[in-house]
Every structure is written in structure tokens, then in C-alpha cells.
């Protein structure tokens, strides 16, 4: 990591929370590796076996794991975040609700990406393939992604931006998943960049 000289602007910091493979997290890290004065400073996961941890290590981004107890019943994670002072906390496939204490400490600084056009297909249990399956079963004509602020309820925070994709009769779970991933990779880093600019 490059040290900034006393006169240069301090890097803006992104902290990513992820629970799984970390493809979005990796994409965001790659994007900001090419951007001046903004960096992904840390990656955190609630899953000790999450591939995102290996990906972060591989990219030289400090990564840490926490459990339910330290997340919800102590100030451990809150204290750590306040020490890091992130400009933005980005949820990228993170499946737990953020504790109220963290939301209050970082107002309008926590965002999430959802693989559907909210308010449709949101809420507890609606993530990943569960969302895509429901979209296909209901024969929707379009789907997409929603980037939104995080509040105390799943998928109910203020919408920042949505991006749509047309659905065709031949679409399957696999093709829809691929379409949504492309939207995520193309747009999530750009929206993060806009929010930090």
C-alpha cells in the first residue's frame, strides 16, 4: 500500500462485508486498485470458510472474520469500524442484518446490492438463487439490481440506483444469474465511485 505524503489527500476508505465467494468484492477491489485516492481498506466476513477471505488476502487487503456473538452482542465490530473510519461500508453478498448500533454510527454510509428490482423480491431469505427462481416462476418480463442504503430491515433502505435487464422465455436460472452478475460487475463499483466523489 502506498503511503500518502503529508500534503496529498487522504485515501477514502471502503470496507466490504461479504458472506460467500466474494466475486463482487473482488471486482470492487480490482476497480479501485486503478482509482486514485480511494481504496478498499478491509474485508470482513461472518463465514470463516468464505472464499472472499482468500481473495482479499491474494489482493493484499486485510481481512477478518467475526461471529454472531461479537457482531450482535458486543461492540467489537463497531469499535473496529470506528477505528478504521471508513467513508463507505459496502455489503457485497452479506447475508446478516447490520446491527442498529453500526447503522446509527454510520448514517447513509452503508450500502447494499440486491439482485432484483426492489421493492419486489426483497426481504428475509430473498438472496441469490432464491430471488432468481421467484422471478422466473412469476414470469417477470424484466429483472435487475438495486443498490440501496441499509437500514434496520432487509432490503428496505432508500434506493440509490436500479439497473434493468430484459427477460426472455428461454431464460433459465443459470442465464438469469449470469445476466444479473454482469449488471452487478458493471455498475456496483461505478455507483460506489460516484457516492465517494
Q: List the catalytic residues.
A: 114
Residues with Cβ < 8 Å from 21, sequence gap 6 or more? 50, 51, 52, 93
Query: What number of CA atoms fall less than 13 Å from residue 111's CA on the CB side?
Result: 22
Instruction: Compute the distance between CA of residue 188 and CA of residue 185 in angstroms, rounded to an integer.
Output: 6
Are 15 and 83 in contact by the 8 Å Cβ rule? The answer is: no
Q: Angle of helix 173-196 relative to helix 23-32, nearest 10 degrees?
A: 40
Amino acid at each position: 500500500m502506498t503511503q500518502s505524503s503529508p500534503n496529498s489527500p487522504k485515501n477514502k476508505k471502503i470496507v466490504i462485508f461479504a458472506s460467500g465467494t466474494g466475486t463482487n468484492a473482488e471486482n470492487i477491489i480490482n476497480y479501485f486498485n486503478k482509482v486514485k485516492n480511494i481504496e478498499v481498506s478491509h474485508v470482513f466476513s461472518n463465514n470463516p470458510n468464505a472464499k472472499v477471505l482468500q481473495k482479499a488476502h491474494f489482493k493484499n487487503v486485510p481481512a477478518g472474520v467475526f461471529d454472531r456473538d461479537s457482531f450482535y452482542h458486543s461492540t467489537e465490530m463497531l469499535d473496529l469500524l470506528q477505528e478504521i473510519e471508513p467513508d463507505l461500508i459496502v455489503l457485497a453478498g452479506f447475508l446478516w442484518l447490520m446491527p442498529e448500533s453500526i447503522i446509527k454510527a454510520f448514517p447513509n454510509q452503508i450500502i447494499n446490492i440486491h439482485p432484483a428490482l426492489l421493492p419486489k423480491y426483497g426481504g428475509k431469505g430473498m438472496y441469490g438463487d432464491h430471488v432468481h427462481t421467484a422471478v422466473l416462476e412469476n414470469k417477470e418480463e424484466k429483472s435487475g439490481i438495486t443498490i440501496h442504503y441499509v437500514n434496520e430491515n432487509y432490503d428496505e433502505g432508500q434506493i440509490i440506483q436500479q439497473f434493468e435487464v430484459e427477460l426472455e422465455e428461454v431464460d433459465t436460472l443459470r442465464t438469469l444469474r449470469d445476466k444479473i452478475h454482469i449488471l452487478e460487475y458493471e455498475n456496483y463499483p461505478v455507483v460506489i465511485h460516484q457516492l465517494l466523489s
